[in-house]
C-alpha cells in the first residue's frame, strides 16, 4: 500500500521548531520507518521540499482550460446573477478536467491512498483518501455567524453529507471526537480512527529569562498578575461571557488583569465595547497577534489559562498551558476532560457565574499548586503526545492495509 501525505502551503517542514500540529506530525512521519509493505511518500504541488528524508512526489499543477467558446461563455455568465448557475457549471467542468490530470499523476506514481492532514481538505475528487476531522461545529454549537454564514454552512453540509462518508478512513483527535462524529454524522464507525491532538512546538521553545522579562515589560505585565486567553476573535470563542465574568471577579481582585491575544475575525470591536461599558478597560489588554516567544512567555507567567470556547471537543491551548506549568480553566467538554483529567478546573462556558467561580478559585495559591501537580501527573501517562499520535498512524495504516488493500 502506497500512501501519499498531501503537503500544502500550510505545512512547511523547513520551519524551525515545527509550531503547527501538521508540521510536527509531518516531521515525525518523515523520520519514521514503516513496514516494507507500507510505502509512505509526500505529494505536493509545491517545490522547495528538499529537506524531506522520504520521497517527495512533485505534482504538476494543471492549467488546463475549457475550449475558447466555453471560456467566453463562462466570463459573460459570471457577470450576471441570473446566469451564475451556468458559470458555476462551466467552472466545475474546468476543475474536473484539471483534477483528471492530477489523478493521472497519482496513478502513474502508483499511489493507493492520499492522506489529508487538515479538516475538510480534498484536492482530488473520487481518489481514495484519509481525511482529518477536528470538529462538527455546525452541528454541535449554537448558530454563530462564522458557522451559519451561507457559504460556510453550505460547504460544511456538502462535506459532511457527501464527501466525508466516501473516505477510506477518518482520523479524529480524541475518543470524544470519535463519538461526536459517529453520533452526528452518517459515517461508518469502523472507518473512524483516533490520532490524538498534542501540544504545539511552542512548549519546547527555549526563551531565555531575560527575553521573557523584556516581553512582559513590553506588554506592561508582571508575573502571576494576569489571566490569559489566546484565541482569535470569533464569536464562538466566547470572549464576551469571559469579560462579563471577569467584571464580577474584578470587584474582588481589582489588580488582576485579563489578557487576550489573537487576530480579529469580526468580533473584536464588540468585545472592546463591552470592556468599556463595564468600566474595566484598564484591566483588560488586547495584544493582537503575538510571536511564539511571547505566547510561550505568557503561558509561563499567567495565573491561569482561561478558555471559555464553545468549540470542542478538544483544543490545543489547554495542552500547551499544562505543559508549561500554567493552571488551566476551560469549558467542561468530554474532550477537555479526556485531555487533562483532574489537571484542570472546568466550567460551563455559557454561565458567567460558573466562569467567575473558577476565576475566584484559582486565586488560591494552594489550589494552583495542586492543579499543576495534577496536570503533571496526567501528562506522565497522557496519550495526547506527538509520539503517540505517530504510533496511532502507524497502526492505522496497518489496519487499513489489512482490511482494504491486502486482498487487492
DSSP letters along 28-42, please?
Answer: HHHH----TT-EEEE
Three cell numbers, residue 336: 477537555
Residues of the chain with pLDDT under 70: 10-19, 62-97, 407-408
Provide the terminal-to-terminal Cα distance of the chain, rounded to the nearest Å: 10
The reported pLDDT for the residue numbered 99 is: 76
Per residue in 29-85, pLDDT tens? Answer: 999 999 999 999 999 988 777 788 999 999 887 666 656 655 655 565 566 555 556
DSSP SS3 for 114: strand
Phi, psi of 95 (to 5 degrees): -65, -35
- Other CB atoms within 10 Å distance of the CB of residue 66: 15
Asked if 237 contacts 216 with a C-beta cutoff of 8 angstroms, the reply is no
Cα dihedral sign, 334-336-337-339? positive
201 burial type by CB count under 10 A (0-12 exposed, 13-18 middle, 19+ buried): buried
Amino acid at each position: 500500500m502506497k500512501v501519499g501525505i498531501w503537503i500544502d502551503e500550510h505545512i512547511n517542514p523547513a520551519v524551525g521548531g515545527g509550531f503547527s500540529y501538521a508540521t510536527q506530525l509531518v516531521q515525525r512521519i518523515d523520520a519514521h520507518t514503516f513496514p516494507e509493505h507500507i510505502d509512505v511518500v509526500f505529494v505536493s504541488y509545491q517545490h522547495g521540499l528538499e529537506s524531506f528524508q522520504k520521497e517527495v512526489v512533485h505534482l504538476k499543477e494543471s492549467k488546463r482550460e475549457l475550449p475558447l467558446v466555453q471560456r467566453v461563455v463562462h466570463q459573460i455568465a459570471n457577470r450576471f446573477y441570473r446566469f451564475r448557475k451556468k458559470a458555476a457549471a462551466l467552472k466545475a467542468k474546468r476543475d474536473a478536467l484539471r483534477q483528471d490530470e492530477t489523478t493521472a499523476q497519482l496513478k502513474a506514481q502508483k499511489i493507493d491512498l492520499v492522506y489529508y492532514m487538515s479538516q475538510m481538505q480534498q484536492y482530488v475528487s473520487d481518489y481514495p483518501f484519509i481525511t482529518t476531522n477536528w470538529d462538527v461545529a455546525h452541528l454541535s454549537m449554537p448558530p454563530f455567524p462564522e458557522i451559519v454564514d451561507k457559504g460556510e454552512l453550505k460547504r460544511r453540509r456538502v462535506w459532511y453529507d457527501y464527501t466525508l462518508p466516501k473516505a477510506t478512513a477518518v482520523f479524529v483527535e480524541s475518543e470524544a471526537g470519535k463519538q461526536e462524529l459517529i453520533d452526528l454524522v452518517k459515517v461508518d464507525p469502523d472507518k473512524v480512527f483516533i490520532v490524538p491532538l498534542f501540544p504545539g512546538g511552542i512548549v519546547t521553545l527555549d526563551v531565555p529569562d531575560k527575553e521573557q522579562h523584556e516581553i512582559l515589560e513590553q506588554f506592561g505585565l508582571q508575573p502571576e498578575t494576569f489571566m490569559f486567553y489566546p484565541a482569535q476573535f470569533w464569536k464562538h470563542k466566547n470572549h464576551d461571557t469571559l469579560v462579563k465574568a471577569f467584571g464580577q471577579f474584578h470587584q474582588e481582585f481589582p489588580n488582576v488583569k485579563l489578557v487576550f491575544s489573537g487576530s480579529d475575525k469580526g468580533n473584536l470591536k464588540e468585545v472592546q465595547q463591552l470592556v468599556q461599558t463595564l468600566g474595566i478597560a484598564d484591566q483588560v489588554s488586547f495584544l493582537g497577534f503575538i510571536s511564539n516567544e511571547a505566547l510561550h512567555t505568557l503561558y509561563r507567567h499567567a495565573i491561569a489559562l482561561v478558555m471559555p470556547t464553545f468549540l470542542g471537543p478538544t483544543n490545543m491551548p489547554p495542552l500547551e498551558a499544562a505543559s508549561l506549568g500554567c493552571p488551566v480553566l476551560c469549558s467542561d467538554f468530554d474532550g477537555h476532560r479526556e485531555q487533562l483529567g483532574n489537571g484542570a478546573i472546568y466550567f460551563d462556558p455559557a454561565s458567567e457565574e460558573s466562569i467567575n467561580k473558577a476565576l475566584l478559585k484559582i486565586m488560591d495559591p494552594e489550589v494552583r499548586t495542586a492543579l499543576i501537580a495534577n496536570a503533571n501527573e496526567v501528562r506522565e501517562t497522557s496519550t495526547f503526545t506527538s509520539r503517540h499520535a505517530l504510533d496511532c498512524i502507524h497502526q492505522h495504516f496497518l489496519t487499513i492495509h489489512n482490511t482494504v488493500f491486502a486482498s487487492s
